Amino acid sequence: MEGTKLRMETSDFSSDSWLLSKGIILFLGDQMNIARQMRRDLAQTDSRLISCRTEKGVRRILDKCAVDILILQDRSMARPGVGLLHRLRHSYPDDPFFTLLLISPEEHEYLSAAFEAGIDDFITVPYDRLTLLGQVRTGIRSATLRRQLTSKNDNLSAAVTSYEGAFNQVGALAHELQEKNQQLEQLNSLKDEMIDIVAHDLRNPMSAVEMYLDYLIEALPNLPEEPKSFLLNAKTLVADGLTMLSELLDISNFETGRIKLHPDIVQLKPFLVPIVERMNLLFRQKGIHYDLNLEEAPETWILDKKRIGQVLENLLTNAAKFSQRDSRVRVCVSEHDQSLNISVEDEGQGIPGSEISIIFDKFHKGFAKPTADESSTGLGLAIAKQIVEQHQGTISVQSRIGEGSVFTVRVPSHPPLPNHTEESLQVAHVAQ
């Protein structure tokens, strides 16, 4: 609003002629002779004096001009003068004008009330010219400084406002982010539920298809080669699909914590040998040799037989999948630092360094391809990792391209023993 008002240049206080203050001075009083005298005294300066007799006149000027000094003659200061100053300050809170009271020596008792009402300084009449010029200079300078201060304040409060705006915006964004996160979590659990439902609902019909195929294959032993191979292909595809479904269910059950371990004291040799021997057929088909080294294996260990068996089967299946004919797979079981170490070493294609860190992620399918076009869900290692971690253990891999890989499972000696009641144990067993 100040910008719209007529302003005079008031910046030039540095010259020698300090008297040449530029400003607008407003005189309110009824003694026009004093006003005239002042105008004469200020004639040499660049200031301009405007005189008014009434509050209304003062307001008219204040509305239009950026006034630097308001001079109040004593009689107007006496009631209702104090009230007048209050009203003006109230109406023009942002106007920086300097108020100067003209007062006669015998009226000095009013001064305290006048200062309280908000005057800045006073001049006793009759005044001497230099005092007036000095006060005018002070007043103009003060008004200028106040103006600058106001503008700085404006800038500052604009800055504060914009800071507050930014702050609120950040708050709103954080809130939005939180909501989005919640939505994502909901979507994620919805996705898990969907996978669960789909996997369950697909499993029954697919198992039925698999059994029908089994019966057909059995019932038609004398089929010609081609239809027979079609039936066998169909059976392989369905079996692969079922494996994928059961892996999907496994991973979803692990992630939702529905699978609990059932650790037991396990005799390692009778536990491990049959698992490796079950793989015999697979290894033979691909012409892969295998060793099982139990020389340094402890007699017993506490672990969940079914689940660790699943991990070992997965590692062996992978080793077979990614190995060439006539290569070797070594399984070595030993005890180190109170941990059971099971390592499966192959002479396969190896895993690139960039994949090592993500090879245990869900749905990861790596650079290496199965050597006999076997199927892969990319879930086996993720499940293995879940199982091993539930045993408080680790699973890791070392690999060299072209030379092979070693997967090592570490199960510490004291995995958590189940703290379920008999009944919940039964339910969990049944659920599996």
Is residue 401 within 8 Å of 291, Cβ to Cβ? no
- Supply angle C-alpha 159, 164, 168, rounded to 5: 150
Span interacting with another protein, options 2-10, 169-177, 217-225, 328-336, rule CB under 8 A:
217-225
Burial status of residue 281 (CB atoms within 10 A of its CB: 0-12, 13-18, 19 or more): exposed
Q: Does 205 bind another protein (CB under 8 A)?
A: yes
* Beta bridge partner(s), residue 49: 25
Q: Does 207 bind another protein (CB under 8 A)?
A: yes
Query: Contact with another protein (CB under 8 A): which of 59, 203, 262, 328?
Result: 203
In the bound state with another protein, the residue whose beta carbon lies nearer, of 30 and 193, is 193
Cis peptide before 298 (omega within 30 of 0): no
Q: Does 257 bind another protein (CB under 8 A)?
A: no
In the bound state with another protein, the residue whose beta carbon lies nearer, of 200 and 284, is 200
- Which uninterrupted H or E stretch holds 409? strand 404-412
In the bound state with another protein, the residue whose beta carbon lies nearer, of 167 and 212, is 212
Q: Does 215 bind another protein (CB under 8 A)?
A: yes
CA 307 to chain centre: 37
Q: Does 9 bind another protein (CB under 8 A)?
A: no
Q: Does 310 bind another protein (CB under 8 A)?
A: no
For residue 363, give the amino acid letter: F
Query: Contact with another protein (CB under 8 A): which of 94, 185, 214, 296?
Result: 214
Show Cβ contacts of residue 104 under 8 Å, excluding neighbours closer than 6 positions.
74, 124, 125
Largest CA distance in the chain: 138
In the bound state with another protein, the residue whose beta carbon lies nearer, of 14 and 204, is 204
| 366 to 405: interface string for another protein, x by CB under 8 A | ----------------------------------------
Task: Tokens for 19, please give them.
Answer: 């008297």
In the bound state with another protein, the residue whose beta carbon lies nearer, of 1 and 430, is 430
Query: Contact with another protein (CB under 8 A): which of 16, 109, 218, 225?
Result: 218
Span interacting with another protein, options 226-234, 283-291, 310-318, 421-429, rule CB under 8 A:
421-429
User: What single-letter DSSP state applies at residue 128?
Assistant: P
User: What single-letter DSSP state applies at residue 418?
Assistant: P
Span interacting with another protein, options 123-131, 140-148, 159-167, 423-431, rule CB under 8 A:
423-431
Span interacting with another protein, options 28-36, 135-143, 340-348, 420-428, rule CB under 8 A:
420-428
User: Rounded to an integer, what distance in angstroms lies between the CA atom of residue 275 and that of residue 292?
Assistant: 11
- Is the backbone of residue 392 left (phi > 0), alpha (psi -120 to 50) or beta? left
Identify residues 221-250 at the interface with another protein (CB under 8 A).
Answer: 221
Q: Does 220 bind another protein (CB under 8 A)?
A: no
Q: How far is the CB of 250 from another protein (least distance, A)?
A: 12
For residue 339, give the amino acid letter: S
In the bound state with another protein, the residue whose beta carbon lies nearer, of 152 and 278, is 278
The answer to whether the Cα torsion of 212, 215, 220, 226 is positive or negative is positive
Span interacting with another protein, options 180-188, 197-205, 299-307, 380-388, rule CB under 8 A:
197-205
Query: Contact with another protein (CB under 8 A): which of 158, 184, 358, 427?
Result: 427
User: Rounded to an integer, what distance in angstroms lies between the CA atom of residue 181 and that of residue 187?
Assistant: 10
User: Rounded to an integer, what distance in angstroms lies between the CA atom of residue 343 and that of residue 294?
Assistant: 11
Interface residues with another protein (CB under 8 A)? 200, 203-208, 211-212, 214-215, 217-218, 221, 423, 426-427, 430-431
